Amino acid sequence: MKQEYQRFYKSTNEIRKQQQEVRNARRRKLRTKRLIAVGIVMISLLLVLVGVVFAISHFYHQMREREMATTEEVIQVPPLVGVADMFPDLPISEQFLTVNPYSRPGLALTDTPQYIVIHYTANPGSSAQNNRDYFENLKDTQETYASAQFVIGLDGEIIQCVPCNEMAYCSNSLNEVCISIEMCHPDEWGNFKDATYNNCVYLVAQLMNYYHMDMDQLIRHYDVTGKNCPRYFVEHEDRWEVFKGFVEEYRERYQKDMELDFE
């Protein structure tokens, strides 16, 4: 009986041991699986991290390259003086003012033009010639400091009064880095005749393409000082947006011609 018991006891013990071993083996397997899973997760995370770092550095590099390309482009543009020969489709008459302290200081812009600034003459019914002569006479009347690189008349005629690489007295703090355009208008409300409007769109588009400007570099005098100028485009913000839309459309249309011109 005792022997029987001992044998039974032994075999039970063996069974327990075997069970324990099976359990241990299962645990080891589970641990290995867990380790592999953790390893996979870690490697994936590392890969993602490397990917993110690579993407960021790639993006940063591209930004830098684009920045440098734009800067180079701007620098490469030769300074523009008169534009009559440049834009033969436009009725441009170059009548540069006499160099004098009141309307043409004879100072170079400090940089390639950074802005095109649009104005209205605030002198209803006056022609481009009237306005040009007014600027010229300031050297004698000495009543104020005023001028603009361009005046666009009621019939679309364009008079260039100051070279594009020289300063005019028109847009306050931006005088040293901008080209100012005065638009003539028939009445005090300041809306423009089609001829004035259309040639202004055309001239602005050509100048902006030449200087490789972005659309936000086309602004109103109002955007510089808050002055109600050009009145129609200040009091009708939507009309200003439409005008800019036309300029953008013309720029795309003439971009190809400009590129050909500079090859």
**Burial class of residue 115, CB neighbours in 10 A (0-12, 13-18, 19+):** buried
Here's the x/- map for Zn ion, 169-198, by CB under 5 A: it reads as ------------------------------
Distance CA 221, CA 219 (A): 7
Q: Which is nearer to Zn ion, 109 or 170 (CB)?
A: 170
Q: How far is the CB of 202 from Zn ion (least distance, A)?
A: 20
Distance CA 230, CA 170 (A): 12
Q: How far is the CB of 119 from Zn ion (least distance, A)?
A: 3
- Which of 104, 119, 132, 231 is close enough to bind Zn ion by CB under 5 A? 119
- Which of 104, 132, 185, 221 is close enough to bind Zn ion by CB under 5 A? 221
Q: Which is nearer to Zn ion, 132 or 221 (CB)?
A: 221
How many CB atoms neighbour CB 96 within 10 A? Answer: 17
Q: What angle do CA 104, 125, 115 make, to 5 degrees?
A: 40
Which positions ≥6 away from 150 have C-beta within 8 Å? 158, 159, 160, 161, 179, 180, 181, 182, 203
Q: How far is the CB of 182 from Zn ion (least distance, A)?
A: 7
- Which of 97, 218, 229, 234 is close enough to bind Zn ion by CB under 5 A? 229
Phi and psi for 178 in degrees, rounded to 5? Answer: -140, 165
Q: How far is the CB of 189 from Zn ion (least distance, A)?
A: 16
Which positions ≥6 away from 118 have C-beta within 8 Å? 181, 183, 200, 204, 218, 219, 220, 221, 230, 233
Q: Which is nearer to Zn ion, 151 or 208 (CB)?
A: 151
Stretch that binds Zn ion, among 159-167, 187-195, 222-230, 250-258 (CB under 5 A): 222-230
Structure tokens at 253: 């249309």
Q: How far is the CB of 65 from Zn ion (least distance, A)?
A: 38
Instruction: Indicate whether 220 belongs to the interface with Zn ion (CB under 5 A).
Output: no
Stretch that binds Zn ion, among 83-91, 111-119, 140-148, 194-202 (CB under 5 A): 111-119
Beta strands in the chain (DSSP E): 92-94, 115-120, 150-152, 158-160, 178-183, 218-220
Q: How far is the CB of 99 from Zn ion (least distance, A)?
A: 22
Positions touching Zn ion (CB under 5 A) are: 119, 221, 229
